[in-house]
Amino acid sequence: MDLVDDKIERLMQAEINIRDAIAKLEQEVKDLKAKREKIQSALNDICLNMKVDGLKTKVGTLTRGIKTRYWTDDWGSFYKFMMEHEVPELLEKRIAKGCYEEFMANNPNTSIPNVQALQEFSITIRRNKANDNKESDDE
């Protein structure tokens, strides 16, 4: 049984090590994205001052464009509008997991056509605090 226990502990430690490495890399990516945002802001300011939407240098070509995002602070009104105007396509095509599960729990005899589900086992390992000074219990 000791070989099995040792293997389990080694696999769990490997999972924790990988999780920690991923968290470190994710933080590095977050930091790089913040730096990138500052650089892009500075380049945008330069384009504004020069009154141009593009630049070409020996490093590459810069193109400045407009991105638009839409959101609502009042989902109730938005849903009402959507239903009144019959425009459900205003939303992205994705099933809201929590809402779907709640609906099905409240309507167990209802079958929604063409909905598929995938269930998979997941493993969660909590770090043994006595053996490690780290404070997170990430999955």
DSSP string, 28-81: HHHHHHHHHHHHHHHHHHHHHHHT-SEEE-SS-EEE---------S-HHHHHHH
Stronger pLDDT, 19 or 93, i.e. the higher one: 19
Is residue 1 a contact partner of residue 116, using CB atoms and an 8 Å limit? Answer: no
Which region among 12-26, 44-58, 125-139 has the lowest average model confidence (pLDDT)?
125-139
Task: Please state the pTM of the whole predicted model.
Answer: 0.64
Q: Which amino acid is present at 78?
A: F
